[in-house]
Structure 1
Amino acid sequence: MRHDEIEEMRTLPLFVGVASTHVESMLRASFLQRFPAHVELAREGDPADFLHVIIDGQIEMYSAYRDRETTISVIGPGHSFIVAAVILDRVYLKSARALLPSRVLLIPAEAVRRSFGEDAAFSRALALELAGAYRSVVRELKNQKLRSSLERLANWVLTHDGESGGTGRFELPFDKKVLASRLGMAPEVLSRSIAALIPYGVKVSGRAVEISDMGALTGLAHPSPTIDGTVS
């Protein structure tokens, strides 16, 4: 990496409070790479050679089995993947690909494990990443098991509207095929669910979403703080 890139990477939350010698050692061995959309960054079953830290862009975490594929999550700047595989020196349990042009820091797994064992601040940062990921998995499991397809979509619309400023208008951040997989439903089920939201004041035209009756949508969604992330 160039000197200016190294200086930029030093400011990542992952390195807050970490000894400068450990940060320097990891960054000197790392790569800062740009990936175009749709490029695969990590493949399920491969050894975990790098800890990936998203600097810019959007990454889809997904998994495949036989002829089926599902989106596990979509993550953005500031998030790392796949931390558990790197720390345990195991293979990746999921794959990753860029949904948008992305800039990603690749830190060699061996350097990560060495600093994890030697620097308490770095260990804490990774522990927080793992804890956050675990709680996200529990929330998603509850979302999938306790809600219908329509309820999952309604809650996703409410959550994403809040994340987009709460104006009642936003653009889908990825295509509908990815959204369907992210919500655990077939594309045709998503289409029917979108149509079923019309009586609740939600209109979807292309990638544009407009909410005209927030009360009706909230009544349908019945958001829960322990599922939808308002409880940390």
Structure 2
Amino acid sequence: MTMRASDLDRVRALPLFSRASPEVFRDVTAGAFLQRFPAGTTLLMEGDTVDFLYVLLEGAVELQGSWKEKETTLALLRPVSTFILAAVVLDADALMSARTLERSEILMLSGEALRRTMRQDADFSFAVAEEVSGCYRGLVRAVKNQKLRGGVERLANYLITQRARQGLRDPIVLPHEKRVLASLLGMSPENLSRAFAGLSSYGVVVRGAEVSLGRPDALERLARPHPLIDNHMPAPAGGAGKAEIERWTTRSGRTCGSSLS
């Protein structure tokens, strides 16, 4: 599909590209094209050669991993987000599969053009390094969350995160199916249901996709959010890169749960 100027403007606003000169941005986006995909479309599979950097402009994407007959959700993405950046930089096979959760618009940028521009422009290379570093720190947080907490604590912190990102509203709305949420939190759907039931004494009431946090202070005492694991950054007005999301915890000077009060 022919690129629209408005699409390029949205990509230009991303921290990854915002400091690039017009010439560098033109080189990186040379040959880019926009695709619209229906829900449930597999964009790439683990082990695939990665020819493009993907930029999610509209919709939602799930990143998955698999082993034998098992699958797990590694990340859930909303606009505006880049993904598979590390594989593009290394010109390596994908370690994750990606599929759309709803109708999505995705901009695809040539991996070769990105690598070539990195070799030619130090400022752009530094911006890519920042973005990859943000992705790495996010991964460390996810691993610590999985290994150091039980399922109820992981769910409680997820609800605190969603409350912060949804403007402290009550009730919050779960942005994903409970099946997908369970996989993201490293739980079975049955264990997720039991975890929600276990949070009822902390004021959590579930009605379909809506979840009321009637006693947020009590929920926070259970969750014990920590800035070296959690990042309850409110939803940014524009696209925030992974590096900017990581910087928020340090710059805010707050514990992650302080936004509840």
Task: Report the CA distance between 1:3 and its aligned residue.
Answer: 4.9
2:55/2:80 contact within 8 Å kept:
yes
Task: Report the CA distance between 1:7 and its aligned residue.
Answer: 4.6
Q: Which residue of 2 aligns with 1:70?
A: 72
Alpha carbons of structure 1 residues 156 and 9: separation in structure 2 relative to 1, 3 Å: closer
Identity of aligned residues (%): 42
- 2:228 partner SS: helix
CA distance in 2 between partners of 1:6 and 1:121 (Å): 23
What one-letter code is carried by the residue in structure 2 that aligns with 1:4?
A
What one-letter code is carried by the residue in structure 1 that aligns with 2:122?
A
2:30/2:113 contact within 8 Å kept:
no
Aligned equivalent of 2:228, options 208, 222, 226: 226
What one-letter code is carried by the residue in structure 2 that aligns with 1:202?
V
CA distance in 1 between partners of 2:121 and 2:187 (Å): 43
Q: Which residue of 1 aligns with 2:97?
A: 95
Q: Which residue of 2 aligns with 1:11?
A: 12
What one-letter code is carried by the residue in structure 2 that aligns with 1:220?
L
Instruction: Give a deviation string over 1:66-92, Cα, whole Å, max 9, x none.
Output: 110000011121221111111111100
2:203/2:216 contact within 8 Å kept:
yes
- 1:165 partner SS: coil
1:198 aligns with 2:200: yes
1:10/1:23 contact within 8 Å kept:
no
- 2:55 partner SS: strand
CA distance in 2 between partners of 1:45 and 1:3 (Å): 32
* Count of residue pairs brought into register by the alignment: 232
2:3/2:33 contact within 8 Å kept:
no
Task: Report the CA distance between 1:2 and its aligned residue.
Answer: 3.7
Structure 2 unaligned spans of 5+: 233-248, 251-261
What one-letter code is carried by the residue in structure 2 that aligns with 1:176?
K
CA distance in 1 between partners of 2:190 and 2:4 (Å): 50
CA distance in 1 between partners of 2:118 and 2:75 (Å): 25
Task: Report the CA distance between 1:121 and its aligned residue.
Answer: 2.5
CA distance in 2 between partners of 1:199 and 1:113 (Å): 53
What one-letter code is carried by the residue in structure 1 that aligns with 2:144?
K
- 2:138 partner SS: helix
Instruction: Give a deviation string over 1:22-46, Cα, whole Å, max 9, x none.
Output: 3223323011111111111121100
2:3/2:32 contact within 8 Å kept:
no
Task: Report the CA distance between 1:5 and its aligned residue.
Answer: 4.7
What one-letter code is carried by the residue in structure 2 that aligns with 1:8?
D
CA distance in 2 between partners of 1:119 and 1:57 (Å): 32
Alpha carbons of structure 1 residues 3 and 190: separation in structure 2 relative to 1, 3 Å: closer
Structure 1 stretches of at least 4 aligned residues deviating more than 3 Å after TM superposition: none
Higher mean C-alpha deviation, range 140-149 or range 11-20: 11-20
CA distance in 2 between partners of 1:182 and 1:151 (Å): 14
- 1:96 partner SS: strand
Q: Which residue of 2 aligns with 1:28?
A: 30
Q: Which residue of 2 aligns with 1:161?
A: 163
1:18/1:122 contact within 8 Å kept:
yes
What one-letter code is carried by the residue in structure 1 that aligns with 2:149?
R
1:87/1:109 contact within 8 Å kept:
yes
Alpha carbons of structure 1 residues 218 and 2: separation in structure 2 relative to 1, 3 Å: closer
- 1:227 partner SS: coil
Aligned equivalent of 1:150, options 149, 152, 155: 152
CA distance in 1 between partners of 2:170 and 2:7 (Å): 40
Q: Which residue of 2 aligns with 1:134?
A: 136
Report the aligned-residue RMSD.
Answer: 1.5
What one-letter code is carried by the residue in structure 1 that aligns with 2:200?
I
Alignment map for 1:77-116 (pairs within 5 Å): 77-116=79-118
1:47/1:90 contact within 8 Å kept:
yes
